[in-house]
């Protein structure tokens, strides 16, 4: 069996990159108000600019997120010197590609020679990644990802009030706000220009409710479709009950940056530990060292042989505990 382990060992230097500085055009802003009206649109609790850019529907990153993210990045950098992919991490390998199971809190650097990362996961996200070993295989897989022919599922452990739905599909806009953060936008804003010159793009995710507080969901629940047009989705909550653990399976139909994390935030059930998008950084007396998101499965056509391939990743400890036999 071909060996690729020595080419995939991360280094501490590759885990942290210097920030990219960009010149931002100067615009005059209205003062912060509880309510402001402009061009027939009401904006609550936002700074609204005179160029009439689209207004994000999801909130900005909380102040504590910078401190938490920096601490996690430094911790990951110190661990990366000791992280080495082993045979146990390789789910599949042939002469054209390898499928590996990335642990949470680690990053894989850009591979050497003809090796390519076909898909990427956030530092804290664990699960399946594809590494190709030739330009031919890489080009074919890039095309498959672009055309949405690679099917993926994720597991996410969220914190919030129990949803009334059993399955839900949410579609929205996606883009960078004035200060560079990824935000949810209205579906009506898709195609509109954002600060910096980029445009709002469409994204869609389907969610399946698996368990609530570790118990399998047995009762029949509704199936819903949501198009993001408002700042809140009140239907995502029921009653006045206390927030609890919500285990969901996510099926992204598009491949936008932080898509699942953003949609969980919009549905009022941010991922546990995902402080950047409204998640708790402490839960039941314990600090969350990472966000609970796992790339569970991959299904695609082999880029060279054309054979159908399907892979399932081993569950991380938090997912085993949250599912308790459901998965």
CATH of the domain at 224: 3.30.2350
Residue 261 lies in a domain: yes
Name which of 56-70, 234-248, 249-263, 301-315 the model is least confident about. 234-248
Give the range of the structural domain holding residue 219, as residue numbers without chain letter: 53-82+150-320
Any domain includes 140: no
- Look at residue 40 and tell me if it is in a domain: no
Is residue 182 included in any domain, yes or no?
yes
* Integer Cα distance of 42 and 255 in angstroms: 31
Within a domain: 27 = no
Among 15-29, 177-191, 282-296, the minimum mean pLDDT is found in 15-29
Per the domain annotation, does 155 fall within a domain? yes
pLDDT per residue as tens digits for the range 149-175: 999 999 999 999 999 999 999 999 999
Query: Average pLDDT of 197-219?
Result: 92
| Exposed/middle/buried for residue 313 (C-beta within 10 Å: 0-12, 13-18, 19+) | buried
Summarize the confidence of residues 138-145 as an average pLDDT: 95
pLDDT of residue 220: 78
What does pTM read for this prediction? 0.79
Whether 122 sits among the annotated catalytic residues: the reply is: yes
Would the CA dihedral through 291, 288, 280, 32 be positive or negative? negative
Domain count, the chain: 1
Residue 288 lies in a domain: yes
Could you tell me which residues come within 8 angstroms of residue 237 by beta carbon, excluding any fewer than 6 positions away? 160, 161, 162, 163, 164, 268
Which is the catalytic residue, given 89, 94, 122, 289? 122
Residue 103 lies in a domain: no
């Amino acid at each position: 069996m071909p060996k690729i382990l020595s080419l995939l060992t991360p280094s501490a230097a590759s885990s942290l990159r210097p920030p990219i500085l960009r010149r931002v055009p100067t615009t005059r802003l209205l003062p912060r108000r509880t309510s402001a009206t402009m061009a027939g649109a009401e904006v609550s609790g936002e700074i609204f600019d005179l160029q009439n850019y689209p207004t994000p529907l999801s909130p900005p990153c909380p102040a504590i997120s910078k401190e938490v993210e920096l601490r996690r990045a430094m911790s990951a950098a110190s661990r990366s010197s000791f992280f080495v992919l082993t045979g146990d991490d390789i789910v599949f390998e042939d002469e054209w590609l390898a499928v590996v199971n990335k642990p949470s809190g680690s990053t894989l650097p850009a591979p050497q020679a003809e090796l390519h990362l076909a898909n990427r996961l956030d530092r804290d996200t664990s699960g399946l990644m594809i590494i190709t070993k030739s330009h031919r295989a890489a080009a074919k897989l890039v095309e498959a990802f672009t055309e949405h022919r690679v099917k993926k599922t994720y597991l996410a452990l969220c914190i919030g009030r129990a949803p009334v739905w059993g399955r839900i599909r949410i579609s929205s806009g996606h883009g960078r706000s004035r200060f560079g953060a990824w935000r949810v936008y209205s579906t009506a804003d898709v195609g509109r220009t954002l600060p910096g010159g980029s445009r709002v793009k469409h994204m869609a995710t389907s969610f399946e409710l698996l368990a609530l507080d570790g118990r399998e969901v047995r009762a029949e629940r509704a199936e819903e479709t949501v198009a993001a047009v408002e700042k809140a989705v009140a239907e995502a909550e029921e009653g006045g009950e206390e927030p609890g653990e919500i285990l969901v399976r996510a099926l992204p139909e598009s491949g936008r940056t932080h898509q699942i994390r953003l949609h969980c935030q919009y549905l009022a059930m941010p991922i546990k530990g995902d402080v950047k998008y409204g998640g708790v950084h402490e839960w039941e007396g314990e600090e969350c060292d990472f966000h609970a998101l796992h790339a569970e499965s991959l299904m695609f056509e082999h880029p060279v042989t054309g054979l159908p391939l399907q892979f399932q990743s081993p569950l991380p400890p938090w997912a085993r505990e949250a599912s308790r036999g459901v998965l």
